[in-house]
Structure 1
Amino acid sequence: MHIKFFKYQGAGNDFVLIDNREATIKSLDNKLVAQICDRRFGIGADGLMLLQTEPGYDFRMIYYNADGKEGSMCGNGGRCIVAFAKHLGVITDTTTFQAVDGVHYAKISAEGDWVSLQMIDVEVIEKDNDAYVLNTGSPHYVKLTTNLEAKNVYNEGYAIRNNTKYKTEGINVNFVEKSKETEGYFVRTFERGVENETYACGTGVTAVALAMAKHNKTFGTISTPIKVLGGDLNIRFNFDGKKFSNIFLEGPAKLVFEGEVEL
């Protein structure tokens, strides 16, 4: 059958979105999802999402990684599906929806292209030598570095993601450099499930902002601008020294094109 799809991107993190409120799609084959996300033989995307009905909420977000498997929370995907929901007329300026890691609240601009998405609270940040490890809806490894622009993120990220400690479950690997122009950071990410570097990672930049607050022993209400290959994002949150709360991932979410795909 032919299904209408919409292609969205949030700071270069791109997704195929499908309105499945009528439950036309009962299940998706992993191989088919991977083919749709393939940049040479399919539409091309970092992931695929279904927007579905959910009692008591505006909708449910079902997320598949580019490798075809259902994934953990995707922050930029969450922002893009909020923009999609507004485009469909499901929501107006605010929303509460269900995702794999629980309930999320979001606010969207009147133009529908800027989304502020609330992420889950975080209490645990561990150390792996000089790197930080935490879960912001997806597991992340955060490592400070220098000369990030020239770094071979694929090779170094692949090695960490596939080492003996992380190979089975996988982990997203974020390399971080303090920005010379702003109070924020420059971040590049190797994403599990895509198994490559992406132009942005929402849960990744969220993890970076939290890890850097802990690293710098910065407390209170914090706003952290982060530059990624695909643009600019912002993370704001509260940190009392033990718990990170009221975490919001903010940035662009834009419709690229729409079409039909055979499922």
Structure 2
Amino acid sequence: RNGVTQKPGGTFIADDGVHGYKMSAGKFWIEILALATRRDVVVDGQSATFIDTGVPHVVLPVGDIATAPVNELGYRLSRVSEQFPQGANINFIELDDHLSKVRTFERGVDAETLACGTGATACAIYLTESKGRSWPIDLNFPGGILTIDYSEHRYWLSGPVELVFEGRFHGNRL
């Protein structure tokens, strides 16, 4: 939009390291630096999966995403505990053969968010490793459909992009 880049691919630096990006077939893809550490856990008496995608996540299957207690249960489960020493984002997932639905409670926000890239990656890893799904994986979040792919030993995220805020920075300190 603002002519930041015209290149079909490259890298940028974020808090967690150097990420790749690429543009192909009219889509923008960003690399997720996932560690993909995975273990089965029991949370609140339910089977779930812990996946560290660079950010700790719990993937918790639910029967009906619309009635899942995202804020109440998400808040309680996201806290630092013996099981999750850094806390964890909680991803509630309603399984579907074609387009699973996800709602995420993020620990730093302390609320449900419209979408979460590292959470989408955790859910995609869960679906491929636990449910035998094939890459790429499409997931339906309240903020839109996110696609996660795995190629060249890297996780790639694509989804809707829209401007939600503009601002100006005055000064020379960041």
**TM-score range with shorter-chain normalisation?**
0.7 to 0.9
- Amino acid of the structure 1 residue aligned with 2:139: I
1:176 paired with 2:93, answer yes
Structure 2 equivalent of residue 150 of structure 1: 67
Q: Is the 8 A contact 1:107 1:117 kept in 2?
A: yes
Structure 2 equivalent of residue 131 of structure 1: 48
Query: Could you state the TM-score of these two structures normalised by the residue count of structure 2?
Result: 0.82
Q: Give the SS at the match of 2:54.
A: coil
- Amino acid of the structure 2 residue aligned with 1:252: P
Cα offset, 1:156, TM superposition: 0.8
Radius of gyration: which is bigger? 1
Q: How does 1:13-92 map to 2 (within 5 A)?
A: 87-92=2-7
Q: Is the 8 A contact 1:187 1:228 kept in 2?
A: yes
Cα offset, 1:189, TM superposition: 0.3
Percent of residue pairs identical: 32
Structure 2 equivalent of residue 207 of structure 1: 122
Greater relative CO (CA pairs within 8 A, separation 6+): 1
Structure 2 equivalent of residue 247 of structure 1: 155
Which runs of 5 or more residues in structure 1 are unaligned? 1-85, 239-243
Q: Is the 8 A contact 1:121 1:245 kept in 2?
A: no
Q: Give the SS at the match of 2:145.
A: strand
Q: Pick the aligned partner of 1:101 from 11, 16, 27.
A: 16
Which runs of 5 or more residues in structure 2 are unaligned? none
CA–CA distance in structure 1, aligned partners of residues 76 and 14 of structure 2: 30
What is the count of residue pairs matched by the alignment? 167
Change over 3 Å in CA distance of 1:257–1:109 after alignment to 2: farther
Cα offset, 1:257, TM superposition: 4.2
Cα offset, 1:165, TM superposition: 2.9
- Amino acid of the structure 2 residue aligned with 1:190: F
1:190 paired with 2:98, answer no
Q: Is the 8 A contact 1:93 1:110 kept in 2?
A: no
Structure 2 equivalent of residue 120 of structure 1: 33
Structure 2 equivalent of residue 47 of structure 1: none
Change over 3 Å in CA distance of 1:87–1:125 after alignment to 2: same
CA–CA distance in structure 2, aligned partners of residues 213 and 110 of structure 1: 24
CA–CA distance in structure 2, aligned partners of residues 121 and 259 of structure 1: 30
CA–CA distance in structure 1, aligned partners of residues 75 and 15 of structure 2: 25
Q: Is the 8 A contact 1:160 1:166 kept in 2?
A: no
Q: Give the SS at the match of 1:254.
A: coil
- The C-alpha deviation readout for 1:93-121, integer Å capped at 9, x for no partner, is 3221122332211123697xx42112225
CA–CA distance in structure 2, aligned partners of residues 253 and 149 of structure 1: 24
Structure 1 equivalent of residue 138 of structure 2: 225
- The C-alpha deviation readout for 1:36-95, integer Å capped at 9, x for no partner, is xxxxxxxxxxxxxxxxxxxxxxxxxxxxxxxxxxxxxxxxxxxxxxxxxx6253453322
Change over 3 Å in CA distance of 1:246–1:150 after alignment to 2: same
**What value does the CA root-mean-square deviation take over the aligned residues?**
2.7
Q: Is the 8 A contact 2:80 2:88 kept in 1?
A: no
